[in-house]
Structure formats: structure tokens, C-alpha cells
Copies of this chain bind each other. A is one copy, B any other.
């Protein structure tokens, strides 16, 4: 028997279902909410309802969107000739934060992972192919994660789109800026050496 009142136990269970929240954290949050002012707890509940009511997915790129198109797809200042392919919306946010990319996106909704039974048909790959034939795209930057699934997905897309004439690029792998050579793993350091760049003295 749980020592918690049923409503509290239920709340603990609900929080425990969220990603990255273990049983102890779920307990802590639930008890925090029991003690919190009513308006604080209500604001959280309303915010969840509001998000589910207002946020859908962009029909063009599958980013989060309040309307049919997301704020990026509907922005006329973005360059439609370059598309950045990402796994999830959170990766899109990460690229946006760099301020270095001014094109459009395409959210795959995951990566190819035979172990989890996810192939191209479970991802938004077909939509991407349609977009590439409809829109005047010259470059596709594949921004999947630099791990096995991400690389597999990137290679799959490169092969699939080889005949389209679109330039397909991949994010550079190498040492993180501000990182420490000593602590870099061999794979990363190996990639950094392989993809070394010529350093020209300024003014030459």
C-alpha cells in the first residue's frame, strides 16, 4: 500500500513517465506541487493544456508550429535553396541558436535504426523527396547526430538523392571549440586529423 494519498500517488506516477525523471524526482516534484500555491500549480497545468491545444506540426518541414506553417517556413527572409535535415525539433533549435544558418529545415522525426525497427518509411523521408522535387533546393545539409544511427541515416539520404544533382553535405566532425586535446576520444581526434584544414598566415 502506498503511504501517499491516491491523488498524490497518481501525480507521482504521471511525473515518473516523463523522460529523465526517476521515481525520487517524481516524488519530490509532486510534493513540491502539493505545497506550492494553487496558482503556480494551475499555471503549469494550463501551460500543458495550452501547448497541446495550440502547437501542431508544420505541414512542410514538421517543425513545431502554431499555424499550418512554422515560423521559419513562413519567414520570407529565409533562403529556400538550402535545407537542413535534422532528427528532431530540438536539433533544429540547436542549429537556430548558432545564428549561422539562414535556410529552411526538414525534421525527420527520428533516425534509421534497424534495432528499433525504424526505417525510412517511419520517418519523414518521402515528404523530403517531394519537397526537393517541388522546391528549388541546391544544397541539403544533413545534420543528424554524429553516431551510428545518424551516420547511417545521412548515408542513406546521400545515396537516395545522389541523382538529383543537389549538393549533399554533412556537419564537420572534430574537436569541440574550447575542448581539450588530451581528453578527446580517439575517434573524434582521428576525424579532426583527417579533416584538417590548411592554415594560411594572415595577409598572405
Contacts and interface: CB of A to CB of B under 8 A. Distances in A.
Interface of A is mostly: helix
Interface stretch (A38-46, A150-158, A189-197): A38-46
Interface in A1-28: 3-8, 10-11, 14-15, 17-21, 25, 27-28
Given A3-B96, A44-B14, A28 B34 contact: no
Interface string A33-61: 11000101111111111111011000000
B17 A40 contact: yes
Chain A, interface size category, equals 35 or more
B7 A30 contact: no
A85 interface: no
Nearest to A22: B20
A29 to B, nearest CB: 5
A149 interface: no
B52 A41 contact: yes
Given A19-B29, A42-B52, A55-B8, A3 B93 contact: yes
B5 A66 contact: yes
A71 interface: yes
Contacts of A30: 51
Interface in A66-91: 66, 70-71, 88-90
Contact of A5 (B8, B45, B47, B55): B55
Contacts of A47: 7, 10-11, 14
A104 interface: no
B43 A14 contact: yes
Contacts of A66: 5-7
22 contacts: A3-B93, A5-B65, A6-B66, A7-B51, A7-B54, A11-B50, A14-B43, A17-B44, A20-B29, A27-B90, A27-B93, A28-B90, A31-B88, A31-B90, A33-B51, A33-B52, A34-B64, A34-B89, A41-B52, A42-B48, A42-B52, A45-B49
